[in-house]
Structure 1
Amino acid sequence: MAKIGVFFGTDTGNTRKIAKQIKKQFDDDLMAKPLNVNRTEVADFMSYDFLILGTPTLGDGLLPGLSADAENESWEEFLPKLEDQSFDGKTIAIFGLGDQVTYPLEFVNAIYFLHEFFEERGATLVGQWPTAGYGFEESMAVVDDNFLGLALDLDNESALTEERLSGWLKSISDDFGLPL
């Protein structure tokens, strides 16, 4: 079985694309095929000690899900299934997509919601990313000038995605045992 699980929520498919870009860099022994949380069983999710989680931020800073007008169930519906699980001993890194121009007051807020959920359940969270170079006004996902995970803006800064993703994967490589 692969060592690292990659799970994502999505609405437009962009978060899925990033998850697939991450997977493309690693073999099947190291990293499993990315799975949408709306097609994931709790036992499969919990079978990994290392998790990379992806999410877009929808509307006014919401996790994707039906109440955020997503077309399908997503993180909003999956997280309640995990409420009674312990994440002690699990290492989690989060990446999030947002639009810092159209939504400058809640850019990548969904990273915060995932971070808080898993931190409250004992996970070790890694992968903070500097806010330098971004043009948003506010984000719940910022602590001490760092995002709580990798922030990507495919709408306005898609040219920076590959560089940011590569740098972020290098930054979590020791925590995940990645060969970078």
Structure 2
Amino acid sequence: MQKIGIFFGTETGTTRLIAKKIYKLLGDDNAAKPLNVNRVTAEEFLQYDALILGTPSYGVGEIPGLSAGCLEKNWEEFLAQFGKPNLTGKRIAMFGLGAQERYAERFCSSLIALHQTFADLGAEMIGDWSTEGYQFDHSASVVDGRFVGLVIDQRTQGMHTDQRLEQWLQQVKPQLLQKLQRAA
């Protein structure tokens, strides 16, 4: 597939909203329409060599899903049917949503669980993001002083979302498009 695949899990619809914003910023020429992981197959996912994945934070640093308290199927259930394919050759950037004031002790910690899952399957993970401008006590998603992907707090910092998306996409878009050119 010669477009960037955008896949997300969502509980309240906010992750879907951010995925749609990313799609709009990338444009239809560069990206496929965002798809909810509770409505796709592994085969649909594996068609893409460059991907952007989004996740809400649920549970205590768990992959979002029914066992973490989600009301609908999410990443946990997708990964159960996904199996353990070799993702070598795939390039993945991730974004995660969290609430830094409400969950300061585990802000956006679900992002690292999903990030590690795809890294362990061989994917090249890109798109780390600065912790500057956020206020929280702890996040498992901080590695070497940076988030492993873009972190969005729509609840208390929604006024920064558009700017953060634009800056992050300036960083990851060329790397994702480069992957598509090499695959062609």
TM interval, shorter chain, is: over 0.9
Residue by residue, what CA displacement relative to the aligned partner does 1:134-155 show, whole Å, maximum 9, x if unpaired? 0011011001110000011001
State the AA in 2 paired with 1:145: G
Corresponding residue for 1:92? 92
Residue by residue, what CA displacement relative to the aligned partner does 1:4-31 show, whole Å, maximum 9, x if unpaired? 1000000000000000000012333320
Q: RMSD over aligned Cα, in angstroms?
A: 1.3
1:67 CA drift (Å): 1.4
State the AA in 2 paired with 1:113: A
Measure the CA separation in 2 of the matches of 1:57 and 1:75.
Answer: 11
State the AA in 2 paired with 1:142: V
1:121 CA drift (Å): 0.8
In the alignment, does 2:126 pair up with 1:139?
no
In the alignment, does 2:12 pair up with 1:12?
yes
Corresponding residue for 1:130? 130
State the AA in 1 paired with 2:157: E
* TM-score normalised to structure 2 length: 0.92
Q: Which has the higher contact order (CA 8 A, sep 6+)?
A: 2
Measure the CA separation in 1 of the matches of 2:63 and 2:53.
Answer: 13
Measure the CA separation in 2 of the matches of 1:30 and 1:63.
Answer: 28
Residue by residue, what CA displacement relative to the aligned partner does 1:53-102 show, whole Å, maximum 9, x if unpaired? 00010243333211122121000111122332011000000000000101
Measure the CA separation in 1 of the matches of 2:56 and 2:175.
Answer: 24
Q: Which moved more, 1:56-65 or 1:163-172?
A: 56-65
Measure the CA separation in 2 of the matches of 1:177 and 1:30.
Answer: 8
Q: Secondary structure at the match of 1:10?
A: coil
State the AA in 2 paired with 1:118: F
Corresponding residue for 1:42? 42
Where do 5+ consecutive residues of structure 2 fail to align? 179-184
* TM-score normalised to structure 1 length: 0.94
1:2 CA drift (Å): 4.5
Structure 1 or 2: larger helix share? 2
Residue by residue, what CA displacement relative to the aligned partner does 1:93-147 show, whole Å, maximum 9, x if unpaired? 0000000101011111111011100111110000000101100110110011100
Number of matched residues? 178
In the alignment, does 2:92 pair up with 1:81?
no
Percent of aligned positions that are identical: 47
Corresponding residue for 2:54? 54
State the AA in 1 paired with 2:120: E
Q: Secondary structure at the match of 1:156?
A: helix
Query: Residues 63 and 113 of structure 2 are in contact (CA less than 8 Å); yes or no, is this contact kept in structure 1?
Result: yes
State the AA in 1 paired with 2:142: V
Query: Residues 49 and 89 of structure 2 are in contact (CA less than 8 Å); yes or no, is this contact kept in structure 1?
Result: yes
State the AA in 2 paired with 1:168: W
